[in-house]
Amino acid sequence: MKLLVNGSEKDVFVSEWSEQGVKLAVDGVTYSFTTQELSKMVSGISTDKKKGHVLVHGQDLFIEPLSKKNCGGALEAGAMISPMPGKIFKVIKVAGQEVKKGETILIMEAMKMEHPVKASRDGKILEIIFNEGQQVDGGVELVSLKPAGKE
Amino acid sequence: MFKKILIANRAEIALRVVKSCKEMNIACVTIYTDIEKDYPHASAGDESICLGDGPLSDTYLNQDRLIALAKELGVDAIHPGYGLLSENPSFAQKLATNNITLIGPSAENMLLMGDKIASKAEMERIGVPTIPGYHGANQDSAFLLEQAKKVGLPVMIKASAGGGGKGMRIVKSFDEFSEALTSAKSEALKSFSDENVLIERYIETPRHIEVQVMSDSHGNHLHFFERECSIQRRHQKIIEESPSPALDSDLRSRICASAVMITKSINYQGAGTVEYILDENGAFFFLEMNTRLQVEHPITEMVTGVDLVRQQIEVAAGGKLNLTQNEISQRGHALEVRIYAEDPDNNFMPSIGTIWDVTSSSLNGVRFDNGFVAGNEVTINFDPMLSKLIVWDSNRENAISKMNICLDEVAYLGFKTNREYLKRVLSSKPFKAGNITTNFIRDYEKELVKVELSEEAIAKGIATYLYTKRFSGGSEVKQVHSKKQTPWSYLNNFRNI
């Protein structure tokens, strides 16, 4: 089966379940864990039993089966996406404008705070997808930018 | 003593006040909104009242509604907690008019300390040092720039009515001044309905030291020593401790004496916190006074052994403080971390989700002030602070070590929190050495990045996930943690089928 672990894809094959524990291969490497050690881990699972949250060495792992919904279609690296649900408070730049990396393109407002959304690289703004005052969800692309030097 | 207290707040602080009310045999009323029906505070009071739906101004901040409710239920005092109406002088005034006691200071005290300009002027008058700056009423941009030039770079622009980092900007070159001023004013207007700002010298390596005070109405003014709250992100505290590793006994007694001098001079009543900035040379400057119970009050309770909420209620009821200054001492070391629904690896952006489960600690000397249970939704409607985890131990080193263990045990499952990030801070060399400033998070950004897990650790996580999924039985949420819930029982069931 394929799992998404903190956003990266893992190929998982379970070869054996027993009272003593589990043997499994992750990306071709085989591991075995005893029931006893697994039972000491802090973990939880969503009500639909799909998503899991496990603490390993204190770190959070979010695990879910890879599905059509979460595979592919990932945003291009450096895309400017809304960090959280909120409102477009102010649009500073306009489509067609050249921007330098780090320049503020628009300001989002959420949790009564202003969050500037800055250019992720030098380039030209193709489109600012929302208008001032619009509500946007978290994780949504806000600005489409053509990187400098790319035709 | 009061017969019935209305707690005009929510989540962990509402639950905290309920505890003291119970111990004092005082009936209490909690309030909640539609979306909080399943939150613990919605059923924590002897009576619990639903305020329905709508913006905060219709619910927790609706002063007239709360007063009407208090009258209807025969409430004789209101505990405002922190935030919300806790430092609102008009609410204090209205309560006085309606013969309901506010468990807090007078409207006059609030008015003075809530105004950064007036409070600094008062401090200058009574001889408490303040940071150089312009705190006046002239808000003309050109004039403010001129003042900024007098104060010298780096300069901080701050909302006069502000708090929590809202309406605050730091300017390192005068070219940036006008843009920063405009945006600070707009944020100030939005957050506090007041766009007035003040200008101040920005101290490069500041430490945030605050002193807990408590005064009764008989002229007794006490302090409960200091808390250091230098570890902040977005100008909000995330780790607090008492005692502060920055103070020697001389500096400690001077800073605590200064706080008591303030409460005496302004004839303060109730619990309060005087916040100071300590610079690299050991000079301290008055920052502000919070005229309420502070989020981080538990660490003071841990080291002094005093229930501050109980003291607040006693003095609000007209009682005399039953302690003398000599009877208050700091014992051992207490640490508090604030657990936020946020993603520290994405600029501390708030996260949302359903709490599948909240796990607990197995250690001694741990206090978990938590406002949520499994099944609760964490939304963007309220502050992203979920809870406070507090530990006490004999010294700082042990307290840090204990907190690190504790943070591996106590987790909100189902969405991102800053839990693991707090461990990174606590385990870092500069924190352990006590070399902390309010810029710590920014200055050590590189040292505080996430350490990637080994492939084997990830495989173990996957095995745990598959295991939990397989043996989670018919129950909605299953946690592989406490003994009685071990999946072994489910494994047995599984075999028998």
For testing contact with chain B, the best of A22, A27, A39, A62 (most B CBs within 10 A): A39
Task: Say whether A31 and B459 touch across the interface (CB within 8 A).
Answer: yes
Q: Scanning the structure block, which residue is given the tokens 């930018």?
A: A145
Q: Which distant-in-sequence residues (6+ apart) come within 8 Å of B161 by Cβ?
A: B114, B115, B116, B188, B192, B194, B196
Residue of B32, B37, B7 whose CA lies nearest to B21:
B7
Catalytic site includes residue B292: yes
Would you tell me how many other CB atoms lie within 10 Å of the CB of residue B347? 11
Q: How far is A76 from chain B (nearest CA, A)?
A: 17
Task: Say whether B380 and A86 touch across the interface (CB within 8 A).
Answer: yes
Residue A65 at interface with chain B, using a CB cutoff of 8 Å = no
State how far the alpha carbon of B23 is from the alpha carbons of B15, B19, B119, in Å: 13, 6, 36
Q: Which distant-in-sequence residues (6+ apart) come within 8 Å of A67 by Cβ?
A: none
Stretch B19-33: mean pLDDT:
98
Determine the pLDDT at residue A48: 87
Q: How far is A100 from chain B (nearest CA, A)?
A: 17
Stretch B237-245: mean pLDDT:
98
Strand, helix or coil at A102?
Answer: coil
Would you tell me how many other CB atoms lie within 10 Å of the CB of residue B280? 11
State how far the alpha carbon of B150 is from the alpha carbons of A31, B145, B201, in Å: 66, 9, 10
For residue B149, pLDDT over 70 is answered with yes
For residue B456, pLDDT over 80 is answered with yes
Distance CA B320, CA B282 (A): 35
Q: How far is A127 from chain B (nearest CA, A)?
A: 24
Closest residue to B464, CB basis, from A27, A43, A113: A43
Residue of B161, B156, B158 whose CA lies nearest to B115:
B161
Determine the pLDDT at residue B164: 66
Residue A24 at interface with chain B, using a CB cutoff of 8 Å = yes
Residue ranges of A 97-126 with Cβ closer than 8 A to chain B: 109-115
Q: Are B339 and B419 in contact (CB under 8 A)?
A: yes
In tens, the pLDDT along A10-33 reads 999 999 988 889 999 999 999 999
Q: Domains for chain B: give ranges and CATH numbers.
A: 4-103 (3.40.50.20), 132-201 (3.30.1490.20), 207-443 (3.30.470.20), 455-496 (no CATH)
Tell me whether residue B454 is exposed, middle or buried, using C-beta atoms within 10 angstroms of its C-beta: 0 to 12, 13 to 18, 19 or more: exposed
Distance CA B359, CA A43 (A): 9
In tens, the pLDDT along B73-117 reads 999 999 999 999 999 999 999 999 999 999 999 999 999 999 988
Higher-pLDDT residue of A110, B356: B356
For testing contact with chain A, the best of B195, B452, B458, B488 (most A CBs within 10 A): B458
Determine the pLDDT at residue B474: 40
Closest residue to A84, CB basis, from B187, B380, B420: B380
Task: Say whether B464 and A41 touch across the interface (CB within 8 A).
Answer: yes
The fraction of chain B above a pLDDT of 70, given in percent, is 94
For residue A70, pLDDT over 90 is answered with no
Residue B280 at interface with chain A, using a CB cutoff of 8 Å = no
Q: Which distant-in-sequence residues (6+ apart) come within 8 Å of B308 by Cβ?
A: B212, B214, B224, B271, B293, B297, B300, B301
Strand, helix or coil at A32?
Answer: strand
Task: Say whether B351 and A110 touch across the interface (CB within 8 A).
Answer: no
What's the token pair of residue B274?
A: 């005087």
Q: How far is A90 from chain B (nearest CA, A)?
A: 11
Higher-pLDDT residue of B63, B162: B63
Q: Scanning the structure block, which residue is given the tokens 């409102």?
A: A87
Residue B493's closest chain A neighbor by CA? A19
Determine the pLDDT at residue A78: 56
Task: Say whether A38 and B467 touch across the interface (CB within 8 A).
Answer: yes
Q: How far is B77 from chain A (nearest CA, A)?
A: 30
Distance CA B89, CA B112 (A): 9
Q: Which distant-in-sequence residues (6+ apart) come within 8 Å of B193 by Cβ?
A: none
What's the token pair of residue B269?
A: 């009543």
Residue B166 at interface with chain A, using a CB cutoff of 8 Å = yes
Residues in chain B with CB shorter than 8 Å from the CB of A5 are 458, 461-462
Stretch B344-348: mean pLDDT:
91
Tell me whether residue B295 is exposed, middle or buried, using C-beta atoms within 10 angstroms of its C-beta: 0 to 12, 13 to 18, 19 or more: buried
Please state which architecture CATH assigns to domain A80-147.
Beta Barrel (2.40)
Handedness of CA B262, B164, B292, B85 (dihedral sign): positive
Question: B243 preceded by cis ω (within 30°)?
Answer: yes
Q: How far is B353 from chain A (nearest CA, A)?
A: 11
Residue A55 at interface with chain B, using a CB cutoff of 8 Å = yes
Stretch B152-170: mean pLDDT:
84
Q: Do strands B47-50 and B27-32 pair parallel, antiparallel, or not at all (unpaired)?
A: parallel
Residue B462's closest chain A neighbor by CA? A63
Tell me whether residue A34 is exposed, middle or buried, using C-beta atoms within 10 angstroms of its C-beta: 0 to 12, 13 to 18, 19 or more: middle
For residue B484, pLDDT over 60 is answered with no
The enclosing H or E element of B207 equals: strand B207-215
Find the range with the poorest average confidence among A42-51, A141-150, B61-70, B293-302: A141-150
Determine the pLDDT at residue A26: 96
In tens, the pLDDT along A82-111 reads 877 788 989 999 888 999 888 899 998 876
Residue B409's closest chain A neighbor by CA? A42
Distance CA B210, CA B203 (A): 17
Find the range with the poorest average confidence among B22-31, B155-164, B218-227, B229-238: B155-164
Paired strand residues for A21: A34
Domain boundaries, given as residue ranges, for chain A: 2-65, 80-147
Q: Are B389 and B336 in contact (CB under 8 A)?
A: yes
Q: How far is A10 from chain B (nearest CA, A)?
A: 9
Residue B462 at interface with chain A, using a CB cutoff of 8 Å = yes
Phi, psi of A110 (to 5 degrees): -155, 150
Task: Report which residue type is found at A2.
Answer: K
Q: How far is A49 from chain B (nearest CA, A)?
A: 6
For residue B476, pLDDT over 70 is answered with no
Determine the pLDDT at residue A68: 60
Residue ranges of B 214-253 with Cβ closer than 8 A to chain A: 234
Paired strand residues for B432: none
Determine the pLDDT at residue B477: 40
Residues in chain B with CB shorter than 8 Å from the CB of A138 are 352
Task: Say whether B416 and A22 touch across the interface (CB within 8 A).
Answer: no
State how far the alpha carbon of B64 is from the alpha carbons of A62, B55, B61, B68, B94, in Å: 45, 15, 9, 6, 8
Stretch B274-286: mean pLDDT:
93
What's the token pair of residue A34?
A: 């005893």
Residue B55 at interface with chain A, using a CB cutoff of 8 Å = no
> Is ipTM strictly over 0.90?
no
Distance CA B240, CA B338 (A): 9
Residue of B12, B379, B408, B407 whose CA lies nearest to B239:
B407
Task: Say whether B413 and A53 touch across the interface (CB within 8 A).
Answer: yes
For residue A75, pLDDT over 70 is answered with no
Task: Say whether A42 and B359 touch across the interface (CB within 8 A).
Answer: yes
Determine the pLDDT at residue A79: 67
Catalytic residue among B252, B292, B367, B419: B292
Compute the mean pLDDT over every residue in chain B, rounded to the nearest whole number.
92
Distance CA B389, CA B404 (A): 11
Q: Are B384 and A111 in contact (CB under 8 A)?
A: yes
In tens, the pLDDT along B128-142 reads 999 888 888 899 999
Determine the pLDDT at residue B3: 97
For testing contact with chain A, the best of B57, B351, B465 (most A CBs within 10 A): B465
For residue B377, pLDDT over 50 is answered with yes
Determine the pLDDT at residue B311: 98
B471 pLDDT tier (thresholds 50, 70, 90)? confident
Residue B429 at interface with chain A, using a CB cutoff of 8 Å = no
Angle at B36 between CA B31 and CA B42, to 5 degrees: 40
Determine the pLDDT at residue B192: 86
Residue A112's closest chain B neighbor by CA? B191
Determine the pLDDT at residue B473: 53
Determine the pLDDT at residue A110: 77
What's the token pair of residue B8?
A: 């005009």
Q: In what order do the strands lie in the sheet with B4-7?
A: B47-50, B27-32, B4-7, B77-79, B101-102
Residue B354 at interface with chain A, using a CB cutoff of 8 Å = yes
Closest residue to A49, CB basis, from B408, B420, B469: B469
Residue A52 at interface with chain B, using a CB cutoff of 8 Å = yes
Give the DSSP letter string of B417-472: -SHHHHHHHHHSHHHHTT---TTHHHHTTTTTSPPPPPHHHHHHHHHHHHHHHHT-
Closest residue to A3, CB basis, from B423, B462, B464: B462
